[in-house]
Structure 1
Amino acid sequence: MTSLESLRDSPNSLSVHYGRFGVAHRLLLTGHSHQAWPDVALDGQIEAFTDASSAVDDKWGPAFAKAEQLRQYYRDLVDDPGGDIALGANTHELVVRFLSSVDLRNRPRLVTTDGEFHTLRRQLARLAEEGVEVVRVRADPVDTLAERVAAEVDDRTAAVLVSQVLFETSRVVPGLDTVAEACGHRGVELLVDAYHALGVVPFSLARQGLTEAWVTGGGYKYLQLGEGNCFLRIPPHAADARPVITGWFAEFEDLTAKASGKVGYAPGGDRFAGATYDPTSHYRAVAVRDFFVEQGLTPAFLREVSLHQNELLATSFDALDAPPEVITRDRSAPREAFGGFLALTAPNADELKKGLAERGVLTDSRGDKLRFGPAPYLSDTQLVAAVAALGEVLA
């Protein structure tokens, strides 16, 4: 079973399973954006091709079985036994279907924050151009964000859309149960974006008071599932939702349109399904999930690893003693208040990213934020070397 000590060592004990990505010989600090895939991911893709070539059009039987295994994985990750889960290639298509299911005609108001990922930022901005009122609550200070979002909920609000972990700063948003309670009082739908939480910040609908919330996320980042593996959790009260944006896969089990004159929907998460898709990503995802299980990479253990790695990055950065006007970090809260990456504030963050890339350290930047995203397959030595390279760039 994998231990924290074995991951701290050089070479890292997991790195041997990521030979195709060469993680032992590369400083890949983009883990919050796109982690490397274990080699077994290729086995999943080959299995998908094998099923397609042998079964031809009958491949959908085994493909749907893989989809159900992926749904169960997401149920486990959000602590929702038996919950309804819809799958999609990306969160955008799922969020659009969600928005098409809420009552925007009679409640033309959406509440969100100015710290949301581009999926929400862009789509909500476009809806605002068409007359939907979009209220953007300032994300800072994070400690009062949930309370301020809850205060914006009124009888004209159709939905609230917020993140569990902010994608620019890595801050965990506390108190979302306050938002859920406000939404419940007003009959407002709450959508929580958990993409930057899953795999680094344990998520529990019950413990966090979010049993009536919609949840969206995916496996492209910390779960190492690659593209095409996103989900939407449908709360119990929305079991009969009828999204306007709908594909024919949403009627596989309920072909009642001709009988009733009304568009029919399949039960459960399938009512938010689209149309024909490439199932290869689900095969890959299930292979990686099995690998995580074999290696003991549970949400609790991954959180332990993430906190250690981010603390190491933070202390190594502090040791550089860089001028705060050049580059600094948020020291107002302990690392437990952050998600899976270290966000550094620098006016020329993009230039620093380029300088690091020239030295073999891959990071990314968003505006004035330079982001170091570790991953379980990186050793302590690699993390320290990455920050040392930043010191060279600053010099």
Structure 2
Amino acid sequence: MYQKYYRQFLQAAQNAATPECPEAMLHMACHSHHYWPDVTLDAVQQYWQDAANLADAKWELIFGEKIPAFQRAIADTLNLPAPEQIALAPNTHELVARLLSAFDPVKPLRILTTDGEFYSFARQLLRLEEMPNVEVVRIPTEPFATLPQRFEQELCSGNYQLAYASQVFFDSGVAFPQLLEIAARKPDATQMVIDGYHAFFARPTDLSAIADKVFYTAGSYKYLGAGEGMCFMSIPRGCQLRPLNTGWFAEMAELENRAEGVGYGDNWLRFAGATMDYSALYKALSVLELFKHDGVSVETIHRYVQENQQRFLAAMDAATHPLLNRNNLIHHDLENGHGHFFTFRCGSAENAEELQAELRKKNVLCDRRQQLLRLGFAIYHPQDETFARLFT
């Protein structure tokens, strides 16, 4: 059904078959490196052609047409009312670091988050905590059923300048219950960031009610399938934060007539950085335009993946695998509480490493985080894929 978009990657997977394992590579690390649709190759070549034909004038095309088109596509996907409020950068860490730099470095900074955040933010917090004015409170993600109550209670009872939480946790695949509703009720004095990377273009997301209350970050490397280097952050309208980490792109509107002092625009350029490789923009835009043209929505992608997950669960339940079983699966609620990958507790990092190696011999590619083994699902998995080979 959707495999027609990924012919080149799927051909490479077929070429990975061996006499010992004649089946094509089954790529189940799509929550990490997602296959790219074929249109991305044409997009990279078009970027080169535009650079060759336009030279410096390519910036007029990029900033005048390509970036606004990308912003509109992101806004349509997330139901955001102001596309011009979507900032771009090569990675989300750059955007979040720029946001962190907007807080006064000599005043107390209290940050509320969870113990399940991705490494880039978690590492940055550990470094920030070395500063005497920074305090971080981490709410345990488990038990997931009570996470909303525990997080919101702390959010409303503490004097926090920043709250940060993932829409889908990178290690477990579990969706933060009621996160958008909590964001709608957050204290006005608290800036809030939702890390949407493991939900964007996977789980249907409507940010219209909180567009001017939160910063939302995501990018093209995971489920959009457009590769590295193209990330974004939505910015609440009326935001007056002045990032200390500010790039020259933030002066884009005044390059010809620079004013005294450091000014900031009222759109995405407030959080703009500096020169980057926009081939990633071309790739991401090509996928967004392809799916829009063909009527492939996040809702249809999500339903398709859930069907894959149900077939996987059926094959798992029919087997008696010592590690891949219901007892070790972190979360079961596909309708309301899960992203597009399953995570299994393997008891130890050694068990997870051995299982990953066993699956690799069966031409099943997956990944792990310490004792956790992760198995992802994508629209490039065929409808007749049973996943039975994982359990034999």
Normalising by structure 1, we get a TM-score of 0.88
1:210 to partner: Cα distance = 5.7
**What whole-Å deviation, never above 9, does each CA across 1:280-315 have from its counterpart, x for those lacking one?**
111111111122123322011111112111122122
Q: Which residue of 2 aligns with 1:78?
A: 78
Closer, same or farther in 2 for the Cα pair 1:80/1:104, shift >3 Å?
farther
1:18 and 2:6 are equivalent in the alignment: yes
Q: Which residue of 1 aligns with 2:135?
A: 133
Taking the TM superposition and a 5 Å limit, the aligned residue runs for 1:205-224 are 205-206=207-208, 209=210, 211-224=212-225
**What whole-Å deviation, never above 9, does each CA across 1:349-370 have from its counterpart, x for those lacking one?**
1221122112211111112221
3-state DSSP class of the match of 2:141?
A: coil
Q: Which residue of 1 aligns with 2:263?
A: 264
Moved more, 122-131 or 37-46: 122-131
Q: Which residue of 1 aligns with 2:191?
A: 189
1:263 to partner: Cα distance = 0.5
1:160 to partner: Cα distance = 0.3
Closer, same or farther in 2 for the Cα pair 1:220/1:32, shift >3 Å?
same
CA distance in 2, matches of 1:271, 1:214: 13
Identical aligned residues as a percent: 35
1:108–1:133 CA contact under 8 A, matched in 2: yes
Q: Which amino acid aligns with 1:390?
A: L
2:113–2:165 CA contact under 8 A, matched in 1: yes
Moved more, 33-42 or 316-325: 316-325
1:34–1:220 CA contact under 8 A, matched in 2: yes
Taking only aligned residues, the RMSD between alpha carbons, in angstroms, comes to: 2.2
CA distance in 2, matches of 1:160, 1:139: 14
1:237 to partner: Cα distance = 3.6
3-state DSSP class of the match of 1:86?
A: strand
Q: Which residue of 1 aligns with 2:200?
A: 198
Moved more, 88-97 or 353-362: 353-362
Taking the TM superposition and a 5 Å limit, the aligned residue runs for 1:1-395 are 13-22=1-10, 25-64=24-63, 65-83=65-83, 84-103=85-104, 105-131=106-132, 132-153=134-155, 154=157, 156-181=159-184, 183-185=186-188, 187-206=189-208, 209=210, 211-238=212-239, 240-254=240-254, 259-260=259-260, 262-323=261-322, 328-330=328-330, 333-347=333-347, 348-382=351-385, 384-385=386-387, 388-392=388-392
3-state DSSP class of the match of 1:133?
A: strand
**What whole-Å deviation, never above 9, does each CA across 1:47-103 have from its counterpart, x for those lacking one?**
100010111111111122212211112111221022400001011001101111234
1:334 to partner: Cα distance = 4.3
Closer, same or farther in 2 for the Cα pair 1:349/1:194, shift >3 Å?
same
3-state DSSP class of the match of 1:168?
A: coil
1:219 to partner: Cα distance = 1.2
CA distance in 1, matches of 2:74, 2:104: 27
3-state DSSP class of the match of 2:354?
A: helix
1:147–1:179 CA contact under 8 A, matched in 2: no
**What whole-Å deviation, never above 9, does each CA across 1:95-115 have from its counterpart, x for those lacking one?**
101111234543411111001
2:331–2:338 CA contact under 8 A, matched in 1: no
1:256 to partner: Cα distance = 10
Q: Which amino acid aligns with 1:100?
A: S
Closer, same or farther in 2 for the Cα pair 1:334/1:282, shift >3 Å?
closer
**What whole-Å deviation, never above 9, does each CA across 1:15-34 have from its counterpart, x for those lacking one?**
23322212564311111112
Closer, same or farther in 2 for the Cα pair 1:37/1:332, shift >3 Å?
closer
**What whole-Å deviation, never above 9, does each CA across 1:153-202 have from its counterpart, x for those lacking one?**
356411000011111111111222453255325x1001001111111111
Q: Which amino acid aligns with 1:298?
A: S
2:93–2:120 CA contact under 8 A, matched in 1: yes
**What whole-Å deviation, never above 9, does each CA across 1:114-166 have from its counterpart, x for those lacking one?**
01111211111111122311111100112221221222235641100001111
CA distance in 1, matches of 2:179, 2:169: 13
Q: Which amino acid aligns with 1:231?
A: F
The number of residue pairs the alignment matches comes to: 373
1:214 to partner: Cα distance = 0.8
Closer, same or farther in 2 for the Cα pair 1:143/1:91, shift >3 Å?
same
Where structure 2 has 5 or more consecutive residues not aligned to the other structure, the ranges are: 15-23
CA distance in 2, matches of 1:358, 1:193: 34
CA distance in 2, matches of 1:304, 1:263: 48
3-state DSSP class of the match of 1:236?
A: coil
Where structure 1 has 5 or more consecutive residues not aligned to the other structure, the ranges are: 1-12
Closer, same or farther in 2 for the Cα pair 1:344/1:362, shift >3 Å?
same
CA distance in 2, matches of 1:310, 1:205: 26
2:39–2:287 CA contact under 8 A, matched in 1: yes
CA distance in 2, matches of 1:161, 1:224: 25
3-state DSSP class of the match of 2:124?
A: helix
CA distance in 2, matches of 1:251, 1:280: 22
CA distance in 2, matches of 1:237, 1:193: 21
Closer, same or farther in 2 for the Cα pair 1:148/1:104, shift >3 Å?
farther
Q: Which amino acid aligns with 1:281?
A: A
CA distance in 1, matches of 2:139, 2:126: 14
